[in-house]
Amino acid sequence: MAYGYATHVVILDDDGRVTEVHAAHDSGKVVNPIAIQGQIEGGVLMGMGYALTERFDLKDCVQQVKFGTLGLFRAPDIPYINAIYVEKDELLDVGYGAKGIGEIATIPTAPAVQNAYRALTGELQTELRLKHTYYSREK
């Protein structure tokens, strides 16, 4: 069994807009750099959406939003994403030393966004979608 590890750091500008995300992942030996880059970038954007913009309201188990109103990030709003691959000299003796990437690319982003806003405003927000952000309607 092999466990991957990850940590993300989110950088905000003075207005509270996410300008950079640094995503470090220990996924073992990187077998396909293009695939892991895409997985990390996609995971970061999913985590940002979860933290900042997306809504999926339900009423009696029926969705109340349509695709255009979900709050998905648009291309001009995507920050610089720096994917950092942590590889060790000593590899695991399974799967060419690869651990994989998968869902772990999404998990650290929302807490990193929350911590960035806490550092900016001093307010600890404990519910997602975060309020009082550059991206929120509740500014």
Active site residues: 103
Phi and psi at residue 8, to the nearest 5°: -125, 145
Is beta strand 5-12 parallel, antiparallel or unpaired with respect to 62-63? unpaired
Q: What span, in angstroms and rounded, lies between the C-alpha atoms of 129 and 15?
A: 18
Helix (H) or strand (E) holding 9: strand 5-12
Of the candidates 25, 81, 24, the residue with the CA atom closest to the CA atom of residue 48? 81
